[in-house]
Amino acid sequence: MQKGIDTDITNVDPIKYPDPRKTADETINEDFLTAKIDDKFNEIWAFHSLPLYLVEPDDVSAFYSKALELLADNGVLRIYPICSAEEDINTMSDTQCSLSIREWLLKPLVHKESLERLQYIKSNQQHHATYYLGGVTIQKKPQTT
């Protein structure tokens, strides 16, 4: 008998999946930054989301704030990949090549904001961040009263 992991996975990738149930237990299949979400989640996945699809540096802070706010105690936010602006430029797919000149110019600022935000999260006492092979997991520590 195989032991499973008892968790609900919520995917926040900005991709419209034809059948979201195949990618996660729940998928936020709309703009995560503007979606009205009242639930708390014990597992949030953002694979190929940040910083790959964000354009505005302010969106990076909004993404982290919202994702971390939606985590239940001991919940985990998994982000992959966290890659550099140079890597983004060198490995852009045809879909991503549709970025405007303004978006191209903002990419390094988005990446810088992401790294700064991750450094802040790693240094605070509310979360535990672990880096691995180009990604990061951030676990929300239980709140003590």
Q: Which domains does the chain have, with CATH numbers?
A: 10-140 (3.40.50)
List, in order, residues 6 or more apart from 130 with CB less than 8 Å away: 136, 137, 138, 139
Give the pLDDT confidence score for residue 11 in this predicted structure: 60
Which residues on neighbouring strands pair with residue 27, listed in sequence order? 11
Percent of the chain with pLDDT over 70: 63
More confident residue, 136 or 83: 136
- Residue 34 burial by Cβ neighbours in a 10 Å radius (0-12, 13-18, 19+): exposed
Which pLDDT band holds residue 82 (cuts at 50, 70, 90)?
confident
* DSSP characters over 49-103: -TTTT--SHHHHHHHHHHHHHTEEEEEEEEEE----HHHHHHT--TTGGG--HHH
Give the pLDDT confidence score for residue 69 in this predicted structure: 93
Both tokens of 87, joined, read: 């890597």
Which pLDDT band holds residue 19 (cuts at 50, 70, 90)?
low
Per-residue pLDDT reduced to its tens digit, 30-43: 778 888 888 888 88
Per-residue pLDDT reduced to its tens digit, 91-106: 444 444 556 777 777 7
